Structure 1
Amino acid sequence: MVLCTLHSLRMTNSGKKLIRPPFPLFTKFPSRIERAGYKLYNYLDNSLYPVRPFYFGAAVAASTAYFTRFEDSSKLLQLVPKIGESAVSQYVRLCAVSLSTAYLPVFFSRFVLRHFYFKYKKWLYENPKNPSTLTKVWGMIRSLLSLTPPRLKSCDALLPSLPVPALEDTVERFLESIRQLHSKEELAAIDKMARDFLEGEGPKLQRFTKLYALFKDNYVTGFWETYAYHYSRSSLLINSSVAHVDLFSDIPATQAVRAAHIVYIEFLSQLSIDRQTYSPVNMLGGGLVCARHYDKMYAVSRVPGKTVDHLDNYGISRHVIVLHDGGIYRIDVVDENDRIYSVDQLSDVFIELLTRPDTKVEGAEGRIPALTHDKRNDWHMNRRRFFESIPKNKKALKEIETAAFVIVLSPVNDWDYDQENPDTLSRFMKSMLTGEGANRWVDKSLNYIIGKNGRCGGTTEHSIADGSEFDHIMENFVWMENDIINYPPLDVQIAREKSFNITEAKERGVKFAERIEIEVSEEMATEISRCFSTHEEAASDVDMASLIYRGWGKGRIKKCGCSPDAFVQMAIQLANYRDQGRFVLTYEPASSRFYANSRTETLRSVTDESCEFVRAMEDGGKTDRCTRASLLRKACELHSTHNRDCMVNKGVDRHLFVLFVMSQATGTSSPFLNHYIQQEWLLSTSHVPNVTNTMKEDNEFSDKSWLGASFGAVAKTGYGICYRFAGNHSICAHISSYHSAKNTDSQRFRANLEKAFEDLSTLFD
């Protein structure tokens, strides 16, 4: 019986349009020679873009033929001095001239792209209906580039380095951003510190930063990854990692079948990124943005250090790790002939594992992954004591850390989305964020969790990349699930599992899961128990509330003349003001991927205009509806402008962050930077963008919309809010806080946010 059917090209319901998968459906795992071959080709392709290697090779061949034919009469060839009379020297001279001639168009094209196309940013601020001449030229180049669409990393070497902003501009923007957050006395004190900084230590730190930037394509990213992530000694779950859940109404599947699909799709995704066949064309910016961090999505492990962590990147991997019933298993996704297992074969593997008798591992041996939930310095010591110093455990650890990703088979059977009971989704999302204490290998870049009822989600280690990369992978997964892979009816899946025969499965050429044995000493068991208990306490403190607002979506917001993201940010400001009675420092990440090796900048949501709007909404009806609507549009417009500013290196926080790092590295005392770094983001928000425009989320396909992601609140007395637009029909928001905080309550904030959506909507009725 065939469990599912894969189509590299599939007809839509209309029978007219062909749907291509987001990446090739590879059937074979590359050998070392094959991988070296396509890596070389990718290097050449990236080095020559926008000219393809084939055309460059043809140009070289044509040039060589021309100069060979007209060697004696070619003036260009005569300009190159002879280096000898031998045939070899003449051939070298001929090749050099041919290569130079063929490379001239490449050089000119890349020069224009590097020094004009990728540096020009004024198009972001202009009216598309009345662009300037330079923007028209920029648009013409973009149209030409569409004839040779970039591959995943074609543009990385062409993107400009991130420049260091003017010190005075950054300080002035910072002071402007905090005007509504402090009293007059506090603002006066901060202003004095800022002026002293500009006249004192600031210029020296700025010179150090500019000198450092001369040797880096991005003066922020290295420091950001090290000090914002890897230097943190806190446990990763809740404090750093991000989580996600699946769709409004997921495809009915058993646990084994769903696990097989996830492994198959994500394994192909891994190979596609490695080959650069992961299509960037539908991405934000048409693929003309930084894609360097995709290489860290799979087969990567964060290694704990005594004072600082680091990432180990294993390239591509042939196996995945499965956590099930307390056991740790290795599942090969490739057979001995390098053939990638089909979905049917992988289903056999998971069915066999799930039907094994007596697989439950009790006690400390069944909670070994809890060690990874610990504080990073403690996990570093335990990793050395219990793994690296014991040969058997060291080998087991290597198998885990070199895996492509981790699959968790959870016994939980009630994960779901119920429109009538939002707390069902809240429990689902919280479980993805916190885990159950011992069923995540936290160091791995990706953990996928499948419940007993087939619902799934995941946990991602955040230092590897940012939301746009995570979203791209998720949207491609949804694309594959809904449009490329056909699931059989659930009763067919269940019947197949009931009639499963191990002998027949072996005949189909599969290798079953292998248990990874780890020696657990008494001392190790004590540490496992401590880590498990500590994490349980931390997880119980997390207060998660999910809101799926189904009144309307981004389409209505656009008709109101507002940016959807800015609109939700104003709703969050209104909800937080009602919840806390004041304005607080608010974080929203903004993309800076127009620059080489870039990640994010901070978009500060609190402005004079946003506060004026919120106060007007709370003045007891003194301000009429039209005025409130006008204030909302004005606040949204400024928010969108600030977002564009962040995209073009006019933000505040990354520059100040690097200056603070420089002050610490040089032993420079800076009261202003110390004040800056100590400020708490009491409201941390993140918009999950749609980066591919491939998910079907219109009203007709509303059940196939993605429910979104979440993260732990950054401040212990604050909120973390992650939201996305599910087409034009819903807004998905997930709110986190901590029960131990006396001033926060996620359910209360959810009610305030829902009311804020409704109140803002009435402004445009």
Structure 2
Amino acid sequence: FPPDVLQHWQDSEFVTVYHRGRYFRLWVYKAGRLLSPREIEYQIQRILDDPSPPGPGEDRLGALTAGDRVPWCAVRKQYFSSGVNKRSLDCIERAAFFVTLDDEEQGMMGEDPVGNLDRYAKSLLHGKCYDRWFDKSFSVVVYKNGKNGLNAEHSWADAPTVAHLWEFTLATDAFQLGYTEDGHCKGEVERSLPPPQRLTWDIPVEVQEQVSISLSVAQALADDVDCHVFPFRDFGKGRIKKLKISPDAFIQLALQLAYYRDRKTFCLTYEASMTRLFREGRTETVRSCSNEGCAFVKAVESGEGPEHCRRLFRLAAEKHQNLYRLAMTGSGIDRHLFCLYVVSKYLGVESPFLTEVLSEPWRLSTSQTPVQQLELFDMKNHPDFISLGGGFGPTSTTWGSFGPVADDGYGVSYIIVGEDMINYHVSCKHSFSETDSHRFGAQISRALLDLLSVLTPAKTENSQAQDKKQQ
């Protein structure tokens, strides 16, 4: 079967909307004019009010994009290459993006706000495994209570690109477009707008059977994700910078300390670094578990003196910053190793070295999601408009969660929000009994506090230093 390919369309004047098992084409332009927010709201309301039931096999059709790729390729070639199915599939694939109008409510609400954040992230990551179209560049998910989020396929762009889009969307919606007093979008409605077009399908029994198989595969993956999202509010980068330390180095060393406490060992650690200094640059790996970092963690855990721990920390932080600089400037090792691997396969050369080094598992996979558009709104005065950030999942990128790369590992995504908060997304797999996302989240919080304590000289130490100077 042929591999997946990226399809590029010059432009699109519509989006595809999924609601209660039905698919609709929603035009967002009329005669070259972009519809006003109020007109788009009016059109979406028409979809919400449409009482028609889904056709046979239609409601869970999206599961084909969530399961194994080879069966989807075969079904697509046989049943979606002509006729009504091809026309409807083309509508989805040529749409600017995919929209799911979800019947659930999500967000920080009720008596268990942190638990609801976990559910919010998992919902954005995979939903019901059939109500997202995972082949699309990105899907916007809008919940019944107005909360929303983004699920993006990862091959076309890295997280900062999606983050840039979503920050702009949130800020523009809240501070430029706005809403009327009764909660409607601002703007006028041209009542002659044609209604959204319902997509139709002819789904034979054979395709419905494959949909069920793909759904069971995807559901097993989704159920295995143990996801925990939490805001760390004790301090943020403001306090860290006062110690003249790189916030990212501080957070990464805290993760090393947390992992050592959780698993009683160290592991190969992946930290994503952008290589956007280069044309078409994507990412490079910072191997952030260093000898210097291990020495610092061991010193803290063995109860070494604070001055000795601080000295080791400075060495470890300096090492981390240097590794990050090397990765950003094209001097990392992992993309070069991958390139050697591709060339070896092309030449048919077996390399024991490449086989060994590329088979080592990344048991701690981490990434920072940058806040890029600080000029759009004041975070201090508008904290309710801050995004939770995001990270990578097993099959997609979600503005809300981060999946483990190794079956026995953790995925950790974090976003440094303003000066006083860090949002974390921790995940692992239920199927591995020795990992637990909530336990590791608690270890991260404890490690952050312990690092700050180690790096902040006590008053008695300061007074002793002053006495020595006076003597």
Settle same-fold status: TM greater than 0.5.
yes
Counterpart for residue 383 of structure 1: 76
Say yes or no: does 1:740 pair with 2:431: yes
Tell me the amino acid that sits aligned with residue 80 of structure 2. Answer: F
Supply the distance in 2 between the matched residues of 1:551 and 1:701 (Cα, whole angstroms).
19
- Asked if the contact 2:299/2:309 (under 8 Å) is kept, the reply is yes
Counterpart for residue 328 of structure 2: 647
- Asked if the contact 1:542/1:738 (under 8 Å) is kept, the reply is yes
Counterpart for residue 464 of structure 2: none
**Per-residue CA shift, 1:425-478, capped at 9, x if unaligned?**
011001111221211111000101011000001110100011221121122112
Supply the distance in 2 between the matched residues of 1:520 and 1:704 (Cα, whole angstroms).
42
Counterpart for residue 445 of structure 2: 754
Alignment of 1:455-604 (within 5 A): 455-489=147-181, 491-493=182-184, 508-604=191-287
| TM superposition shift of 1:488 | 2.4
- Asked if the contact 2:259/2:266 (under 8 Å) is kept, the reply is yes
| TM superposition shift of 1:633 | 2.6
State the secondary structure of the residue aligned to 1:635.
helix
Counterpart for residue 720 of structure 1: 411
Q: What is the TM-score normalised by the length of structure 2?
A: 0.90
Q: What is the TM-score normalised by the length of structure 1?
A: 0.56
| TM superposition shift of 1:417 | 5.9
Whichever structure has more strand as a proportion of its residues is 2
State the secondary structure of the residue aligned to 1:366.
coil
State the secondary structure of the residue aligned to 1:310.
coil
**Per-residue CA shift, 1:232-273, capped at 9, x if unaligned?**
xxxxxxxxxxxxxxxxxxxxxxxxxxxxxxxxxxxxxxxxxx
Question: Structure 1 stretch 594-603 or stretch 528-537: which is displaced more?
Answer: 528-537
| TM superposition shift of 1:693 | 3.0
Tell me the amino acid that sits aligned with residue 360 of structure 2. Answer: Q
- Asked if the contact 1:696/1:705 (under 8 Å) is kept, the reply is no
| TM superposition shift of 1:511 | 2.3
Supply the distance in 1 between the matched residues of 2:140 and 2:183 (Cα, whole angstroms).
25
Runs of 4+ in 1 over 4 A off after TM superposition: 417-420
Tell me the amino acid that sits aligned with residue 385 of structure 1. Answer: Q
- Asked if the contact 1:418/1:425 (under 8 Å) is kept, the reply is no
Q: 2:87 aligns with which of 392, 395, 402?
A: 395
Q: Which has the larger radius of gyration?
A: 1
Say yes or no: does 1:373 pair with 2:373: no
- Quickly say closer, same or farther: Cα 1:545–1:681, change in 2 above 3 A: same
**Per-residue CA shift, 1:482-520, capped at 9, x if unaligned?**
32112224x4449x9xxxxxxx96x53322211100111
Supply the distance in 1 between the matched residues of 2:326 and 2:361 (Cα, whole angstroms).
23
Counterpart for residue 691 of structure 1: 372
- Quickly say closer, same or farther: Cα 1:512–1:627, change in 2 above 3 A: farther
State the secondary structure of the residue aligned to 2:24.
strand
State the secondary structure of the residue aligned to 1:740.
coil
Counterpart for residue 461 of structure 2: none
State the secondary structure of the residue aligned to 1:464.
coil
| TM superposition shift of 1:754 | 1.0
Alignment of 1:168-187 (within 5 A): none
Runs of at least 5 residues in structure 1 that lack an aligned partner in the other structure: 1-305, 497-503
Whichever structure has more helix as a proportion of its residues is 1
Supply the distance in 2 between the matched residues of 1:630 and 1:511 (Cα, whole angstroms).
69
Supply the distance in 2 between the matched residues of 1:397 and 1:420 (Cα, whole angstroms).
40
| TM superposition shift of 1:703 | 2.2
Tell me the amino acid that sits aligned with residue 60 of structure 2. Answer: R
**Per-residue CA shift, 1:10-53, capped at 9, x if unaligned?**
xxxxxxxxxxxxxxxxxxxxxxxxxxxxxxxxxxxxxxxxxxxx
State the secondary structure of the residue aligned to 1:322.
strand
Percent identical residues: 36
Say yes or no: does 1:676 pair with 2:357: yes
- Quickly say closer, same or farther: Cα 1:478–1:630, change in 2 above 3 A: farther
| TM superposition shift of 1:412 | 0.5
- Quickly say closer, same or farther: Cα 1:515–1:653, change in 2 above 3 A: same
Tell me the amino acid that sits aligned with residue 606 of structure 1. Answer: C
RMSD: 1.9
Supply the distance in 1 between the matched residues of 2:209 and 2:317 (Cα, whole angstroms).
54
- Asked if the contact 1:422/1:546 (under 8 Å) is kept, the reply is yes
**Per-residue CA shift, 1:682-722, capped at 9, x if unaligned?**
11101001233334354332222211112221111111111
Tell me the amino acid that sits aligned with residue 331 of structure 1. Answer: L
- Quickly say closer, same or farther: Cα 1:360–1:652, change in 2 above 3 A: same
| TM superposition shift of 1:570 | 0.7
- Asked if the contact 2:24/2:197 (under 8 Å) is kept, the reply is yes
- Quickly say closer, same or farther: Cα 1:580–1:547, change in 2 above 3 A: same
Tell me the amino acid that sits aligned with residue 452 of structure 2. Answer: S
Tell me the amino acid that sits aligned with residue 388 of structure 2. Answer: L
- Quickly say closer, same or farther: Cα 1:585–1:472, change in 2 above 3 A: same
**Per-residue CA shift, 1:302-346, capped at 9, x if unaligned?**
xxxx252110111210000001000011000011x2211101111
Say yes or no: does 1:315 pair with 2:32: no
- Quickly say closer, same or farther: Cα 1:509–1:629, change in 2 above 3 A: farther
Alignment of 1:209-224 (within 5 A): none
Supply the distance in 2 between the matched residues of 1:367 and 1:581 (Cα, whole angstroms).
44
Supply the distance in 2 between the matched residues of 1:360 and 1:568 (Cα, whole angstroms).
50
Counterpart for residue 333 of structure 1: 28
- Asked if the contact 1:697/1:727 (under 8 Å) is kept, the reply is no
